Structure 1
Amino acid sequence: MGDPTAEANRGLAVGPFAHDGVWLRCALHCHTTQSDGMLSPAMLRRYYSMGHFDVLAITDHDQLTPAPDAHSEDDDLLLLPGTEISLRSPESGGPLHVLGLGVNAMPRVPERATLLETAAAVQAEGGLAFVAHPWWTGLRSDELGDLAGVTGIEVYNAGCEVEQGRGDSAQYWDTLLSQGLPMLAIATDDHHYPGFDAFQGWTMVRAATRTPEAVLAALAAGHAYSSNGPDIHGIWIEADRIRVASSPAVAISLLGAPPRGVRVNAGPHGLKQPGDVPRGADGRRNGAYPGNLLTEATFPLLTGSPYLRVEVLDAHGRKAWSNPIWLPARG
């Protein structure tokens, strides 16, 4: 899924685009009949294999479900062991769920465990800890305590979106990033019901090789982006500017700690004529797509923010989210 227009003179590639490897479409939050899903582990594997995914993590609640065997020789789906650990928020008292991805065994989590203790237990079993659906559970950003050992959060959860419209946790993510916390992001289905919350959120991982170990290493390093539709083809830094290439989009945004941000829009809300430079940014429209949708945008590097990140919005209202780009302070 590389960018067909990428050229060597575009500048310094950043994030996953700076590394060789293979792009893998990953479903990192799914449930089976072993907890509260509708499909058996074997059927879930077959379902996601037929859905053109490369990686599946079965994350049943508070247990480690054994990986089912492939249903045919054509099934080359990679399986990551995983679990969803149920905690209680220390202040609001609401649910606090943590995904443990890539664990060798079920993490030993103490009763009334804190997020810090849970992340340590996940790490002890060789896994990565991600806070699940923080917007849906109503978590407050000031009640998580020490986030040491937490790899990141779900920036998008399809199940929470189709059930309540609370699947997009980007605002919550920005709050953590603005505090200088190096939180990475994943997008997931949180699949329970076929045809309802399936194939609507995934994480594109740039893995060095097509192995579970390489997928985990790439996730830990942030060599990934999240999506429920669009593709991000590349991000490059060119002196004091940043360039983004994507699949056809109605808008591409460069965001920093609020209120910092700039957006290039296709059509009448941004690029009214070729060559317009709204707020220091410009973009390239591709006339082959309806509405002259964007396929590139260039932005000034925003100042005063510890991080930058990219969002791509397509004509169907779907988004892609880059992982944060951390830059030296620029004033």
Structure 2
Amino acid sequence: MNPKFIKGLLLSSLIAISAQAATWKYAIEESISDVQGVYATKFKEYIEKNSKNKIKIYPYGTLGESVDVMEQSQAGIIEFIDQSPGFTGTLIPEAQAFLLPYVFPENSKSIDNFFKNSKAINEMFPKLYAKKGLTLLKMFPEGAVSITTQKPFYKPEDLNGKKIRVMTSPLLVETYKAFGAVPTPLSWGEVYGSLQTRIIDGQENPMFWIESAKLYEVSKVITDIGHNIFTTAVMANKNFFDSLSKENKQLIQKANKYAFDYILDYQKRIIKKAKDKIKKEKPSIKFVTLSNKQREPFRKAAKDVYKKYIEMTGESGKKILDQMLLDLKEASK
């Protein structure tokens, strides 16, 4: 047999093998044991069980701050990224709709239905993400957001002059202005130290993260005002995803569904677990849940935030928000 033919055959075989088996990088903005880490682990589990491809997960801090990781994702250095609208809001302003206070119901079944079936998520947002070089694969909830402070508060006036850390989202800044506080955008790496040294008076996060990141150690009160849930988005570099075979695209979509179905129940279970652990580790911590009557001034203040959102995003944002409200209404039936 012709040596050149054999060499060509071997080369084409190697190319075929490499095309079938790849190692894909997946960056998250939490630790491997937190909600995003568990989602990524389930995604990895499905991919590796059903193909020759491998997934390497990069927890928060291993590739830099959130802005660094997003730049790497857009450049194609990272294939997959999980990042919340709190950070992508400056890149995709319309995504800040998920940060609007008092949009989501507190009924978990309605929330699940919304994230499964929302037209805004499944049809409208993918087009916006595509313009930024990203393929939106999935959005999912991580639980209700609580606010940690040094003193209890029961009305917006109690927050006057209080510096509350927010993610680097213009809309979150407007939210805490409306709530009476002094919003202070900070990258995640600065939060614990800033609470410890009283540079800031508080911050907001879901309960599991308050426990995982030990934020309760440098806080005295954890308050639930029912204003939001933490939403995050799994994305892929668009050029990478578009270049994949039909089989690999289907594999990735199935892996996301597998991880999504698991995480909906998981994130509910860990809320109580996190709260119990905080109580055990710091018995002096005070948990406060505002009544519906106490929440009314915050709901009223939120109306100004809605106006700011429309100012920031224009007609595109209005269409997104209108569709989300329709989707939520349908999900609550």
Q: For this structure pair, what is the TM-score category when the shorter chain's length is used for normalisation?
A: under 0.3
- Which structure's residues are more often helix, by fraction? 2
TM-score, length-normalised on structure 2?
A: 0.23
Which protein shows a greater Rg?
A: 2
Relative to the length of structure 1, the TM-score reads 0.23
Higher relative contact order structure (alpha carbons within 8 Å, sequence separation ≥ 6): 2
